[in-house]
């Protein structure tokens, strides 16, 4: 069993400092490296209670100060009895705060409180039927025999003193356990994954009946609190907003406009890697329809210049991230003094850009960075602005709800994401003006066809990628030797995982025909049928 622990949470911003003042109810999740830790937080937030993921190293003292209504211990890849297994501060059992251990979290609870965990004869991976021994409390409204999702090789062999059995499965005698008096609960399965029928009911029981929470985390509450926080933070200072016209920064523009009105200045940087007609459209929309002035900065040449000879994807992202900031700095000087830079950074941008993780076995830092999103990992070290990023804890679908609630038109709310580095990370190898023009034309065809067939809202993203290689073709009896275009069309809930979209063949056919016939320099079109993982959505 792999004992390396993912410590993404140590890279993440720590709990909001204004918490205490806001008096917000919260459920804290301590992360032991599960792929699902964030999913747990999300599910809790779906029940309208705020939740955040913290490192498993968070001390009991720190938790006491945060005063959460409940604590959830996530799953994780380690075995509790292994030498370097991650443990939580044993004092947390004495805090008097309800705790739910999920999988590794439950095994840890059992291990630390004097029970026994060992390798099971048979692990369980995937669906299992849950038979309920005590239908009250945690398992209220969870049907006997319901399906829960399992993923474990270890099992609880003996419960600690004071614990009772709540449920079992065919292979796992202790699938759910509780010490009712101390409000300590453990489940071997994963209630947070969609395949666990009744998982959300269980989570609601924990949140509402056991932790006694109230539904305070609503979109309206988020907007209200953010507005208050932004005002408290910014005071009478001016804020420069990096506006791309995408869902995140447009939502942020509306939020900041509501919070600080004229202290806000929006700046759109045309880095030359935008899609065809997009820059003009954005500026017009904001100025004419929303009456929010936008400063348009034409920085095409300088961005193209810094791409000369660069082929490494991370180097491209780094350069683009830096150049964005330099342009903001210069623009800021021209427009007067600004202390703050606001960006529409979301949680997935932060997680995927997280720099390093620690392997507890060796104490070595293990890189897990997937890619540096330009607005996080691509930022220069000597950043002169203070950042304002109120959406930093949210997922895309949560941002869409916020946007909608503050009047952002559906046309923008539903927009497909477009990465800040734009077409530069969709041209593999060196980015040149010629390649940009080819990709822009191919991309326009993809968008037109997907739009016309009413598929735009069925997919998460649909776009073209240009490969820097050439293949042989034949057109009009003549040999061609030109670039291939990759079609990338995916479905996804939040961009963290994705699947390739099952687009009808006739649509693919039209797109392919049009691109090869209409875009000079392309003689072949291929369809990417890789999910994420193992692929990522973008090619770089």
Ligand X SMILES: O=c1[nH]c(=O)c2[nH+]cn([C@@H]3O[C@H](COP(=O)(O)O)[C@@H](O)[C@H]3O)c2[nH]1
Q: Which is nearer to ligand X, 113 or 465 (CB)?
A: 465
Of the candidates 247, 269, 243, the residue with the CA atom closest to the CA atom of residue 417: 247
Residue with tokens 């999740």: 29
- What part of residues 342-371 is at the interface with ligand X (CB under 6 A)? 352, 371
Q: Which is nearer to ligand X, 155 or 375 (CB)?
A: 375
How far apart (Å, rounded) are the C-alpha atoms in residues 67 and 45? 18
Question: Least distance in Å: CB of 139 to ligand X?
Answer: 36
- What part of residues 303-322 is at the interface with ligand X (CB under 6 A)? 317
Tell whether 312 is in a known binding site. Answer: no
Question: Least distance in Å: CB of 174 to ligand GLN?
Answer: 12
Q: Which stretch binds ligand GLN (CB under 6 A): 69-77, 321-329, 492-500, 507-515?
A: 69-77
How far apart (Å, rounded) are the C-alpha atoms in residues 263 and 235? 10
- What part of residues 369-428 is at the interface with ligand X (CB under 6 A)? 371, 373-375, 417, 419-421
Tell whether 283 is in a known binding site. Answer: no
Of the candidates 479, 478, 471, 477, the residue with the CA atom closest to the CA atom of residue 526: 471
Give the interface size with ligand X as a residue count (CB under 6 A): 16
Which of the listed partners (ligand ATP, ligand X, Mg ion, none) does 242 bind, with a CB threshold of 5 to 8 Å by partner kind? ligand ATP
Residue among 152, 190, 257, 374 flagged as catalytic: 190
**Terminal-residue alpha carbon distance, the chain:** 31
Residue among 103, 174, 211, 213 flagged as catalytic: 103
Exposed e or buried b per residue across 207-223, where buried means at least 16 C-beta atoms within 10 angstroms of its C-beta: bbebbebeeebebeebb
Considering only 25, 34, 146, 244, the residue that binds ligand ATP (CB under 6 A) is: 244
Which of the listed partners (Mg ion, ligand GLN, ligand X, none) does 79 bind, with a CB threshold of 5 to 8 Å by partner kind? ligand GLN
461 binds Mg ion (CB under 5 A): no
Which of the listed partners (ligand GLN, ligand X, ligand ATP, none) does 249 bind, with a CB threshold of 5 to 8 Å by partner kind? ligand ATP
Supply φ then ψ for residue 39, to 5 degrees. Answer: -65, -35
168 part of the active site:
no
Q: Which is nearer to ligand ATP, 417 or 521 (CB)?
A: 417
Q: Which stretch binds ligand GLN (CB under 6 A): 74-82, 212-220, 310-318, 403-411?
A: 74-82
How far apart (Å, rounded) are the C-alpha atoms in residues 235 and 259? 10
Q: Which is nearer to ligand X, 43 or 488 (CB)?
A: 488
Neighbours of 134 (CB within 10 A): 16
- What part of residues 88-127 is at the interface with ligand GLN (CB under 6 A)? 103-104
246 binds Mg ion (CB under 5 A): yes
Of the candidates 217, 243, 186, the residue with the CA atom closest to the CA atom of residue 408: 243
User: Interior CA angle at 428 toward 424 and 429, to 5°?
Assistant: 95
CA atoms within 13 A on the CB side of 353: 21
Binding characters for ligand ATP, 61-80, by CB under 6 A (x = yes)? --------------------
Task: List C-alpha distances in Å: 216 to 20, 236, 258, 315, 540.
Answer: 15, 29, 21, 43, 39
How far apart (Å, rounded) are the C-alpha atoms in residues 325 and 305? 16
Give the interface size with ligand ATP as a residue count (CB under 6 A): 19
461 binds ligand X (CB under 6 A): yes
103 part of the active site:
yes
- The residue length of the chain stands at 540
Tell whether 250 is in a known binding site. Answer: yes
192 part of the active site:
yes
Considering only 185, 340, 418, 460, the residue that binds Mg ion (CB under 5 A) is: 418
Q: Cis omega before residue 139 (within 30°)?
A: no
Considering only 155, 196, 375, 512, the residue that binds ligand ATP (CB under 6 A) is: 375
Task: List C-alpha distances in Å: 351 to 6, 38, 298, 363, 370.
Answer: 11, 10, 31, 21, 9
Report yes or no: 136 and 178 within 8 Å, Cβ to Cβ. Answer: no
Residue with tokens 């056919």: 509
Binding-site residues for ATP: 244-250
Residue positions annotated with a catalytic role: 103, 190, 192
Query: Interface residues with ligand GLN (CB under 6 A)?
Result: 1, 34, 75-79, 103-104, 151-154
Query: Interface residues with ligand X (CB under 6 A)?
Result: 317, 352, 371, 373-375, 417, 419-421, 461, 495, 532, 536-538
Query: Interface residues with Mg ion (CB under 5 A)?
Result: 244, 246, 418
């Amino acid at each position: 069993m792999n004992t390396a622990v993912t410590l993404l949470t140590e890279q993440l911003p720590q709990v909001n400092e204004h918490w205490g003042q806001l008096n917000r109810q919260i459920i804290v999740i301590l992360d032991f490296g599960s792929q699902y830790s964030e999913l747990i937080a999300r599910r809790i937030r779906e029940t309208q209670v705020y939740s955040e993921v913290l490192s498993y190293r968070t001390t009991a003292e720190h938790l006491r100060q945060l005063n959460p209504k409940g604590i959830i211990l996530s799953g994780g890849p380690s075995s509790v009895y292994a030498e370097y297994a991650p443990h939580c501060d044993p004092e947390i059992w004495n805090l008097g705060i309800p705790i739910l251990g999920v999988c590794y979290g439950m095994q840890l609870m059992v291990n630390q409180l004097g029970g026994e965990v060992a390798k099971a004869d048979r692990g369980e991976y995937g669906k299992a039927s849950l038979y309920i021994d005590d239908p009250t409390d945690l398992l209220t409204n969870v049907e006997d025999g319901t399906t829960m999702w399992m993923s474990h090789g270890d099992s609880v062999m003996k419960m600690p003193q004071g614990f009772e059995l709540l449920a079992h499965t065919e292979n796992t005698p202790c699938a759910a356990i509780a010490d009712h008096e101390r409000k300590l609960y453990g489940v071997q399965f994963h209630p947070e994954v969609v395949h666990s029928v009744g998982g959300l009911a269980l989570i609601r029981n924990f949140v509402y009946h056991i932790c006694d929470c109230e539904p305070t985390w609503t979109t309206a509450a988020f907007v209200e609190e953010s507005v208050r926080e932004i005002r408290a933070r910014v005071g009478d200072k001016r804020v420069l907003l990096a506006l791309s016209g995408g869902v995140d920064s447009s939502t942020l523009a509306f939020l900041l406009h509501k919070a600080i009105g004229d202290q806000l200045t929006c700046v759109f940087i045309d880095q030359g890697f935008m899609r065809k007609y997009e820059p003009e459209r954005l500026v017009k929309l904001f100025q004419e329809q929303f009456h929010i002035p936008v400063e348009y900065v034409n920085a095409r040449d300088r961005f193209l210049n810094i791409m000369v000879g660069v082929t490494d994807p991370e180097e491209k992202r780094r350069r683009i991230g830096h150049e964005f900031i330099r342009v903001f700095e210069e623009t800021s000087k021209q427009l007067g003094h600004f202390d703050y830079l606001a960006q529409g950074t979301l949680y997935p941008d932060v997680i995927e850009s997280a720099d390093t993780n620690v392997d507890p076995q060796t104490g070595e830092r293990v890189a897990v960075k997937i890619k540096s999103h330009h607005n996080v990992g691509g930022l220069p070290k000597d950043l002169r602005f203070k950042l304002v990023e109120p959406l930093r804890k949210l997922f895309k679908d949560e941002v869409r709800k916020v946007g909608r609630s503050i009047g952002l038109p559906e046309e923008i709310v539903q927009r497909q994401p477009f990465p800040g580095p734009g077409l530069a990370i969709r041209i593999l190898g060196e980015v040149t003006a010629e390649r940009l023009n080819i990709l822009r034309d191919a991309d326009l065809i993809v968008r037109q066809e997907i739009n016309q067939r009413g598929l735009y809202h069925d997919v998460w993203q649909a776009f073209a990628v240009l490969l820097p290689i050439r293949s042989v073709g034949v057109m009009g009896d003549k040999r061609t030797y030109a670039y291939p275009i990759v079609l990338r069309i995916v479905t996804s809930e939040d961009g963290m995982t994705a699947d390739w979209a099952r687009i009808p063949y006739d649509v693919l056919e039209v797109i392919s025909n049009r691109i090869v016939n209409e875009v000079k320099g392309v003689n072949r079109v291929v369809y990417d049928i890789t999910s994420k993982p193992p692929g990522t959505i973008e090619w770089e």
